[in-house]
Structure 1
């Protein structure tokens, strides 16, 4: 059980709810504070002009709404903005969206009745996924369109995915004895006027990016191991003189992974040996290719980018991100723009660029393993069959290359792609939800590329018959993955193997301890 409303909602707690199906419970003191906030707004708004309470919305705020239409105004807002298109968000993303919205509303600055908070809790704990579409939000007055579809379900309309089936909300609510939301003052605006779609998706992205980074470090270690690289490029002494936290964490992780390996070589024992000084041409490459030698310098910035994104997104998910802010402690209502998604949008763009670079590193390491002219250790495409007759990993390399190319195109930033709309009321927007969704695609693509790299590495290990010489940690990975992807010689379709290995990477943590 994860308690919401008491202390910060961390990425770890968030992940327990989203990935491990931990139920949420609401802090009693926080609910009391929400109730006080609601009562203050009821009283305060009785004789004042307040945006979204007795006015229209956006550029229509110049028009006063009559007393008898105030509650219908909130329903009109939800229904009119339920205009999304494209694919439905996954149940993981919609649950993340609801957790993010719940955690914002429970701060007690949105003027909502506790009913909406309790209803969100019911949806989360019963794994009810509102039908929310990927396209529609521009991330300025928050994720208006995506959150309107959440609002539509809250008032008992629209559709949900429940028990794997698309069903009318009314049917599921009736089955589970859930009462739809009855709007009291401003629950319509408070539901849709926030950054919770981009933030929820962004938090999922960060959790997946951390897992992806762990696997990238692991596969980089195995790649160095099977080609018998030198150990000094990830040594403490080399990396400590470069003052970046991420680089030194990656280096320390590589040292831990490769501890006990009989394949990694010491430069002192080999190239520094006196017998080498008289050679005119060295058989050994004096320094490895950059994709092997510069792992700490390439993945270090990725680690730092993920860590910073986590810091920003955790701040956002624990923030009040709607408008106006109802402050019963100071007895006032403050109008502004806390719904603007620039913080999330910028971090998602930075994250997808970093993950694209990670996928590029994986593709280059893969190419090194598959290209016998570069590695001079393995048959072409680590083909364990008859050269010319069998093809090894030749076919799947095309998929890796194509997927990385797509990542490179997807890495164009959304943050600088503002288009004014809403009668120019929203004259500069964040496109934060677009940024988060594209980042999720980049992360998924990267898992595909790493699955192909891992499959190729296993074939390389079998060619060398070096399992016994590997480090205990890398040998454990070899054994685990060979259980789901056996050694092959004859050509067979690989798409199902790729999917099984990808699912293994997505569902398993590479390292005993996280490096972020």
Structure 2
């Protein structure tokens, strides 16, 4: 069990909860601190004007709310802002959102009753996913609309997903023996005033981006292997003179992945051979195309970006992103803008740009493999059938190309798309949730492109009949993937095969290399 609030929550913790079935719990000492914070607010708010407790919200904060309407004000806020549109978020993302919001509450600066974190804990552990819509948040007063849909379910209203089916929340709570939340002071504003939607989705994106990075390194290693490339471009000596952590880590992983390969060549045994000096035109290509030779220089910045983004989003995850901040230690309340999502928005834009570049590298490597005029080694489209009669991977390349193009368009930064709203009260906004959701789409697309690339590499290996010459690591990958995507000669629909390979890439428990190489990547 992972105790929320007891320590700094990490991406690894998220992965254990979301993918490995770990439950969450609440540390008793932290719950006590939340209770102390609530009691402070309860006493401090008497006979004082405090935003969101006895005032309206946003541009209507100048209106005082009467004593008898204070609790109803919180319900009005939740119901009025449950106004999302578009597609429902996937239950996995909603669970991530709830973990992030719970962790914020456990910092004990939101003035909430302990009933709230305890209820969130129940929903997370029972895999109840409130219906939260993708459209609505501008990421300034937090992810207001998305979190309002969470709040709607917490008070026992709206709809929820449970075991793959839609349910009326009130009925589902009765069935599961869950008591809905009763507002005590400011729980409505506390739930919706935060960056937890963009942050939760962002953590999922980081986990998946790490998988993409590792698979891209593996695929890049395998394509160098099947074309019998030289080994110096990922050597220690070449890369160490470039002082970037990511480049050197990528090179180290490539060396590990390719250890034992009987196909990678030592340049000194070939081009440095005196016999080659008698040739006017060298049969061996002196240097490979950039998509094969510059892997460490292309994926190195991707590596560094993922880990920088992880640092930023993890800091946000463990921060207080409410407004106002209820500080029982300083015995005061501080009004400001910790709900503003610029940190996460910019981080997600950086991540999607990096992953799009990774996708572009994959598409170029795929094109090299499929174009016999470039590789001079394989039949067109690694077609193992009759040329002109069969088509090999030709159809799948169209999907990879169009999907890469979509990623390139999606990678314009959301961070720069501020549109004033809320009667110009929110005159500069982050669009952080949009940024996180678009980054997730880029990541999903990239898994698809890498899956197509892997299918082509497997066909290339079988064309050369060289599987026994692969390194032990890449041979394991070949064997595992051929079990779900068999060699093909005759033309058959490939879309289901692509989905199977993509799902293999996405599931951490099936990716032996992630666990093996975790000293580098995780």
What range is the shorter-chain TM-score in?
A: over 0.9
TM-score by length of 2: 0.98
Alignment-derived partner of residue 200 in structure 1: 200
Alignment-derived partner of residue 20 in structure 1: 20
1:84 to 2:88 alignment: no
Alignment-derived partner of residue 316 in structure 2: 316
**Unmatched runs of 5 consecutive residues or more in structure 1:** none
Q: Helix, strand or coil: the match of 2:269? A: coil
What is the alpha-carbon distance in structure 1 between the residues aligned to residue 161 and residue 477 of structure 2?
A: 36
What is the alpha-carbon distance in structure 1 between the residues aligned to residue 152 and residue 56 of structure 2?
A: 19
What is the alpha-carbon distance in structure 1 between the residues aligned to residue 167 and residue 469 of structure 2?
A: 55
What is the alpha-carbon distance in structure 1 between the residues aligned to residue 421 and residue 5 of structure 2?
A: 35
* Residues 501-510 or 409-418, more deviating: 501-510
Alignment-derived partner of residue 277 in structure 1: 277
4+ long deviations beyond 6 Å: none
Alignment-derived partner of residue 469 in structure 2: 469
Deviations 1:380-403 (A, max 9, x none): 000000000000001100000000
Alignment-derived partner of residue 434 in structure 1: 434
Deviations 1:175-231 (A, max 9, x none): 011000000000000000000000000000000000010000000000000000000
Please report how far the alpha carbon of residue 278 of structure 1 lies from its aligned counterpart in structure 2 after TM superposition: 2.2
Q: Helix, strand or coil: the match of 2:166? A: strand
What is the alpha-carbon distance in structure 2 between the residues aligned to residue 114 and residue 182 of structure 1?
A: 11
Please report how far the alpha carbon of residue 276 of structure 1 lies from its aligned counterpart in structure 2 after TM superposition: 1.1
What is the alpha-carbon distance in structure 2 between the residues aligned to residue 351 and residue 133 of structure 1?
A: 23
What is the alpha-carbon distance in structure 2 between the residues aligned to residue 205 and residue 217 of structure 1?
A: 18
Alignment-derived partner of residue 513 in structure 1: 517
Deviations 1:301-329 (A, max 9, x none): 00000000110111111000010000000
What is the alpha-carbon distance in structure 1 between the residues aligned to residue 119 and residue 95 of structure 2?
A: 13
Q: Helix, strand or coil: the match of 2:484? A: coil
1:178 to 2:178 alignment: yes
Deviations 1:110-143 (A, max 9, x none): 0000000000000000000000000000000000
Are the equivalent residues in 1 in contact too, given 2:382–2:393 (CA < 8 A)?
A: yes
Alignment-derived partner of residue 10 in structure 1: 10
What is the alpha-carbon distance in structure 1 between the residues aligned to residue 61 and residue 307 of structure 2?
A: 40
Alignment-derived partner of residue 446 in structure 1: 446
Please report how far the alpha carbon of residue 148 of structure 1 lies from its aligned counterpart in structure 2 after TM superposition: 0.1
Are the equivalent residues in 1 in contact too, given 2:253–2:517 (CA < 8 A)?
A: no
What is the alpha-carbon distance in structure 2 between the residues aligned to residue 480 and residue 18 of structure 1?
A: 25
What is the alpha-carbon distance in structure 1 between the residues aligned to residue 115 and residue 21 of structure 2?
A: 23
Alignment-derived partner of residue 496 in structure 1: 496
Please report how far the alpha carbon of residue 252 of structure 1 lies from its aligned counterpart in structure 2 after TM superposition: 0.2
What is the alpha-carbon distance in structure 1 between the residues aligned to residue 106 and residue 3 of structure 2?
A: 11
Please report how far the alpha carbon of residue 151 of structure 1 lies from its aligned counterpart in structure 2 after TM superposition: 0.2
1:222 to 2:222 alignment: yes
Alignment-derived partner of residue 371 in structure 1: 371
What is the alpha-carbon distance in structure 1 between the residues aligned to residue 54 and residue 395 of structure 2?
A: 63
1:457 to 2:461 alignment: no
What is the alpha-carbon distance in structure 2 between the residues aligned to residue 506 and residue 35 of structure 1?
A: 40
**Unmatched runs of 5 consecutive residues or more in structure 2:** none
Alignment of 1:17-416 (within 5 A): 17-416=17-416
Figure out how many residues of one structure are paired with residues of the other and give that number: 516
Deviations 1:25-54 (A, max 9, x none): 101000000000000001000011110010
* Residues 354-363 or 17-26, more deviating: 17-26
Please report how far the alpha carbon of residue 3 of structure 1 lies from its aligned counterpart in structure 2 after TM superposition: 1.0
